[in-house]
Structure 1
């Protein structure tokens, strides 16, 4: 939208109308949580299938460990594709508006996920099965990149300043909700169906559910995007999609810090979800269904920890909390992975501690440095740093952790998390120096 249009709008309504056009943070929060739950459900359905379905149906021509590593390599492609999705759909946003952008992006995300249910097996289609899985995973990443709606930024701008930490954690609640839903569905079908029937058709149902979840999320988010208040803030350039190249050119340091500050929590994300599930499936006699139930319980712990993070951040500061949790993850990376080799009790302790740490860190990771960006660039800047942080922090985590654990033992699997925690501490320190300048 042109500066002339924005200026005319401001003159028409008056410069003091901003308070009259503020959205209720509670209304925004509902849309944010439902939207994030849908996004994470898509990814966790694929993640769980990457461990218990794709190695057997798509990569049966290699041993189980190699098949799972191949599956994790495909899993990582969405994180590589996500920045390209953001760049492409930002252009759609500027030309056609956020409604068109969201509808198209979520259609691509939902279609790519549901289409996995119709994926032919390797026995039916040979290598075409592998390439189709690759294409659909890339489609998920592009669609997720385009689904950035700015509601988290909108929530931050409309929330009381003295409760920044509390409202910053709200969007993050969608992650454990999505995990609990995906884990619960797979636990149900994997636990109650005979093995042959599960691999014949049962595994497909969680992917079908993704369509319904996607529709609900789309309508919920469009309901907010179409409000006059949202349009008003958009027209005043508070939520405008600035050019990606322009944003990168103007704020390279903020983008670098924003990418690495949440790295510990994003690395931890898959260290307590996808990676331990793969270890249990490949190297233990534990029941996978039982472990999926443990993951669902862990998601509850993670949700509670996310809520607590909001209270702690408002009391002690967001950067202090992130630094403390990064230090805790360094200890966790050295000691906790060995718990996976100690049977069910060790697994429960590993998951409980892991999800508690994850929730405390992840709850504040999105707001760590977003305020560095000027308001005009916050919408695009937040999308860029989110995409890059997920790519570097989470994309390769399951592959690297499993490979290291298989080659050098469980403790070695914690090296990826250790490196992420160190990057977070360094990025937070650098960000503090930037702010002091």
Structure 2
């Protein structure tokens, strides 16, 4: 990828390339681990426990990265202030790659009792790396997008989510259906982790080439996309905007794991359907999400991002109400659950990034946008699989409804407060 040199001009399309490349590799890595938490880790790291308990333990480790992510963001900002953006990105991707490769080489608990502890440490390192990898390009894209096409350009940075998930699910589906159970648990599951490492290396060089280019560096400086101190952010009134930003897209973040990771775990316990069939069904769902995501950009540019997020949060809440009946409705109901769920995933997540980032003062936006995303993942998605699986197993699938309705309520409240403050 050659960086642009247009007499100092950096266009939104140029920036979008860097955003899509970086986010697609991150999401692939993200979902490779998420799917392994259902398909591999319960049997490999928690073999002595009943299936439900093993899944809950696996999802508890899964949540660790989201706890570490805000710390990674703050640590990365400190590194950038002292050594520069390139050094921060390199360190972040090195940590992320080290964690991913180490996971791929881990033996099971039956071979080494310390395997779970090292898995947890690697998961924490992944969270730190993802948090520290914030490069500011999404914010730069939002600030340089034409006023009448901001929804469209916001969507471009998010399309990596369904693409990354679809690739991860397809790879696992192929391995699951073409390998014996022994070979899959022995070595097959490791291959996607090595692919994730290779993609991260390619993405690192692509992103470094962009952010270190003089045109991009000038654009980032001119838009004041440099790290500030957390104390300055909080003392300058950014704390309230930070919380509003974390909750503004809560419904969408709550939905992410409830159509990707959770249903796979629930159906593995309660349905006779083959996991390979469910994985291919999710690949089809990812294609649906990617296909409808551009519609979210078109919609946001016509009725506004705030109205789009609010409307889709209500749709997610309504989907939550029917989800128990669909998941408990046999193959036809489950197929419809995935079709509707992934369609809503694509529509809502397309506008989930930086929903209120423009409300931050210019010097606070770089850190504010990063931490808002971290907190949205932490509050909305981190514990979704373990909480909903536990509640569903003990109290029924109404837990899915409650979780998605709570996400809808959080989004509507945050958007309402944001509108009041903006007046």
If the TM-score is normalised by the length of the shorter chain, which range does it land in? Answer: over 0.9
Partner of 2:419: 432
**Partners in 2 of 1:160 and 1:44 — Cα distance?**
32
Give me the whole-angstrom Cα distance separating, in 2, the residues matched to 1:410 and 1:403: 10
User: What's 1:148 paired with?
Assistant: 134
Q: Hey, what does 1:422 align to over in structure 2? A: 409
Please tell me the root mean square deviation across aligned C-alpha atoms, in Å. 1.2
Shift of 1:304: 1.9
CA-to-partner distance for each residue in 1:35-93, whole Å, 9 max, x for gaps?
11111111111111100101001001210100000000100010000000000010011
**1:217-236 alpha-carbon deviations (Å, 9 max, x no partner):** 11111121012122113333
Aligned to 1:383: 370
1:354 CA drift (Å): 0.8
In the alignment, which of 29, 33, 56 is matched to residue 16 of structure 2?
29
Pairwise CA distance, 1:141: 0.2
C-alpha distance in 1, partners of 2:245/2:354?
A: 9
Q: 1:202 aligns with which of 188, 200, 203?
A: 188
Alignment-derived partner of residue 393 in structure 1: 380
**Residue deviations 1:123-163 (CA, integer Å, cap 9, x gap):** 0112x111011101001000000011111011112211111
Partners of 1:36 and 1:318 in 2: how far apart? 21
CA deviations 1:179-226 (Å, max 9, x no partner) are 011101100111100111111111110011011110111111112101
* Equivalent residue for 1:303, pick from 290, 306, 320: 290
The DSSP-based 3-state class of the residue aligned with 2:355 is coil
| Contact preservation (8 Å) 2:99, 2:126 | yes
2-structure distance, mates of 1:414, 1:195: 34
Task: Decide which of 203, 207, 225 is 1:217's aligned counterpart.
Answer: 203
Q: Greater CA deviation, 394-403 or 352-361? A: 352-361
Q: Distance in 1 between matches of 2:63 and 2:41?
A: 14
TM-score (norm 2): 0.96
Q: In the alignment, is the contact (CA less than 8 A) between 2:354 and 2:373 conserved in 1?
A: no
Pair 1:156–1:20, CA change in 2 (3 A) = farther
Instruction: Measure, in 1, the Cα distance between the counterparts of 2:215 and 2:230.
Output: 25
Partners in 2 of 1:237 and 1:80 — Cα distance?
29
**Separation of aligned partners in 2, 1:249 and 1:55:** 44
Superposed counterparts of 1:77-88, under 5 Å: 77-88=64-75
Mapped to 2, the partners of 1:162 and 1:22 lie a distance apart of: 20
Separation (CA, whole Å) in 2 of partners of 1:400 and 1:415: 11
Partner of 2:3: none
Residues paired across the two proteins, number: 417
Which TM-score applies when normalising by structure 1? 0.93
Q: Any stretches of 5+ residues in structure 1 without a counterpart?
A: 1-18
Query: Is the alpha carbon distance of 1:237 and 1:328 closer, same or farther for their aligned partners in structure 2, counting shifts above 3 Å?
Result: closer
1:235 match:
221
Match of 1:409 in 2: 396
Query: Counterparts of 2:223 and 2:259 in 1: how far apart (Å)?
Result: 39
Distance in 1 between the 2:115 and 2:378 partners? Answer: 25
CA apart distance, 1:237: 5.5
Whether 1:175 and 2:199 are equivalent positions in the alignment is no
Contact 1:401 1:414 (C-alpha < 8 Å) held by counterparts: no
Distance 1:358 1:318 in 2: 16
* 2:231 corresponds to: 245
Decide whether the 8 Å contact of 2:313 with 2:412 is kept in 1: yes
Equivalent residue number for residue 262 of structure 1: 249
Q: Is the 8 A contact 1:50 1:71 kept in 2?
A: yes
Q: Is the 8 A contact 1:182 1:206 kept in 2?
A: yes
Listed as ranges, the gaps of 5+ residues in structure 2 are: 1-5
Deviates more, 1:87-96 or 1:229-238: 229-238
Alignment partner, residue 351 of structure 1: 338
